[in-house]
Amino acid sequence: MERTEAQKRVKELRERLEEYGYHYYVLDAPLVSDAEYDRVMKELISIEEEYPDLISDDSPSVRVGGKPLPFFEKVEHQTPMLSLGNAFSADDLRDFDRRVRQAVGDEISYTCELKIDGLAVSLLYENGRFVRGATRGDGTIGENITANLKTIPAIPLRLKEAIEVEVRGEAFMPKLSFERLNDEKLKAGEEKFANPRNAAAGSLRQLDPKIAAKRSLSIFVYGIGSLQGKELSSHFEGISYLREVGFKTNEESRHYQYIDEVIAFTEEWLEKRADLPYDIDGIVIKVDSLSQQKELGFTAKSPRWAIAYKFPAEEVVTTLLDIELSIGRTGVITPTAILKPVQVAGSIVKRASLHNEDLIREKDVKLGDSVVIKKAGDIIPEVVNVLPELRDGTQLDFSMPTQCPACESELVRLEGEVALRCINPQCPAQIREGLIHFVSRNAMNIDGLGEKVISQLFDHELIRDVADIYKLQRKELLELERMGEKSVDNLLEAIEATKSNSLERLLFGLGIRFVGAKAAKTLAIEFKTIEKLSQATKEELEAVNEIGEKMASSLVRYFKKPEVSALIEELRQLGVNLSYTGPVNVAQVTDNPFKDKTVVLTGKLHQLSRDEAKDAIEALGGKVTGSVSKKTDLVVAGEDAGSKLKKAEELNITVLDEIQLLEIIGQK
């Protein structure tokens, strides 16, 4: 076949496959048999293999999966993907309706949608072509999983209109696909997935897209993040438009005027949910009018114009075999129920929280009892109650110990607390938990030094306090199990890198009672060095905004301990930074372009992370938002800045580069 003829044939085959796919995966109305679809796809792939220069990013052939990826890069959503507030009862929904009507009046209507139990993603299209797909992440920054999302047949690679749009959807694994996948895992001797949601999330986070391609995933698109060049008046109209241009939307959505109709809809689907070919865990209710949505606005975490009604947690009965005690880093003794394994809300549960001794007494829990288990919020298993009528006389009373299971010190109950606590500062269990906290993400964030590695180092007596982490030697690490040369070198590099962390990370990592991550940053900004902080009086600490009496007293007690002074000096000798090196306070900047300004960050920054840049701008009195509009005052553009930079230029908004940003904030 000549190249000209091949080019023409490729175009014909792609258009045919797009039409076949749209009818099969979006409309659920197949035009041809599976065999015919496969025949056309094979012909397309064979021509593209003969003429590789004819392959394009939007060819249906990419759905078979491309080359493995080295990692997932971080990307910014054009508009933040906020989470929804939750409702758990009809009364909660009526409260939501009352708040909405108080804000915008009685002329409202709601769109009700099934809450698909999958993985939230954003899909970005430019000129009608799918260019990027990402996970929700923290709502602002997600992971680029475009290669994996392209393997989902229900996601159009090219829309029916050449528009620029960012849409939100829920990728999921249908029940039949889930059963088939677990059957394959069982035959291969592998561990099964707990539920379709975990299977979908695990499939889309595979670095090899060919794995995702085999998992038979699907998607429902449920919203628009941003849309250029078209005016819409309602959410329902927007979903209809998305369906017209090629997206798969859920046809069970309904439009209601009154909250009682909404409540009836939730009750209907609570009964019918098991009949669906996919999992749902609730109903999403949205104010339909886009102008009213804008008027209602947002809280810091969620829109005021939408709410998620969560179905009641599934409850099951199983046997409580034992009660296990664990010791936290603050010495609190926490009882955990060890259960006869049972499936709850799609996963096997073997353990459940019992919280404290008072709860065990209140519920009259005995070893061997039949107990009712549920997952709080469909996530955390807990014991709801016992069934004393099922006792047969073999059940045994449980008593909390009087001595610490780890160090045998006497346990105490501090005034005003319900928890038993070990107050021995040398308790090995507390030390281990404290080390795990020190290296955690919000503390020193030492990559590669997780709970298992910390336990291994502790058991081999290589670390006993946080300073020991910075004394670890390559030779002794190589002698440990599962510690190869590359992993040891990477670990030592990661440890070394954290020596330059700003003071607030160290403060939080030290685990000072009542001092959380936010308070640690407030203290670091105020006192600048750990030396000044350690010398501060209770009155000076209480004078700091958001530092109360309990926290101030705790800090004074902590820094009075001789062993703490010795530890800080040891960290200093080891080269660990003990000063605040973050953004300077707004009062210290004479020429501050960010004060009271709305700022958008876009593109890749090299010397700052996105969070660091955001913190710096907010410390200077600016407000960082996710999208460019007429209300935007400044845009900070890094490398490969795209549509946001273009829009800023069109609106004549001032644009700064990273160097200018660093000069303004006085980066160290």
The reported pLDDT for the residue numbered 68 is 64
The reported pLDDT for the residue numbered 69 is 67
Determine the topology of domain 586-665 in CATH: Rossmann fold (3.40.50)
Q: What percent of the chain has pLDDT over 90?
A: 51
Sequence ranges of the chain with CATH classification 1.10.150.20 = 428-500, 503-573
Whole-angstrom distance, CA of residue 668 vs CA of residue 584: 10
Sequence ranges of the chain with CATH classification 3.30.470.30 = 85-310
Q: What is the largest CA-CA distance in the chain?
A: 87
Under DSSP, the state recorded for 588 is G
The reported pLDDT for the residue numbered 587 is 45
The reported pLDDT for the residue numbered 436 is 95
Three-class SS state of 383: strand
The CATH code that applies to domain 428-500 is 1.10.150.20
Q: Which CATH number, 3.40.50.300, 1.10.150.20, 1.20.1560.10, 3.30.70.1520, labels domain 503-573?
A: 1.10.150.20
pTM value is 0.56
User: Average pLDDT, whole number, for the chain?
Assistant: 88
Instruction: Confirm or reject CATH 3.40.50.1980 for domain 85-310, answering yes or no.
Output: no
At residue 668 the predicted structure's pLDDT band, cuts being 50, 70 and 90, is: very low
Under DSSP, the state recorded for 469 is H
The CATH superfamily label for domain 3-64 reads Helix hairpin bin (1.10.287.610)
Q: List the structure tokens of 392.
A: 């047969």
Query: Is the pLDDT at 10 greater than 80, yes or no?
Result: yes
| Angle at the Cα of 123 from the Cα atoms of 292 and 250, rounded to 5 degrees | 65
Is residue 177 within 8 Å of residue 212, measured between CB atoms? no
Nearest to 201 by CA among 156, 250, 148, 151: 148
Backbone φ and ψ for 528, nearest 5 degrees, come out as 70, -40
Backbone φ and ψ for 218, nearest 5 degrees, come out as -140, -175
Whole-angstrom distance, CA of residue 175 vs CA of residue 183: 12
Instruction: Give tens-digit pLDDT for 546-599.
Output: 899 999 999 999 999 999 999 999 999 999 999 998 765 544 555 678 888 889
Determine the topology of domain 315-397 in CATH: OB fold (Dihydrolipoamide Acetyltransferase, E2P) (2.40.50)
The reported pLDDT for the residue numbered 591 is 61
Residues annotated as part of the active site: 115
Name which residue leads in pLDDT, 81 or 26: 81
Nearest to 506 by CA among 539, 472, 471, 470: 470
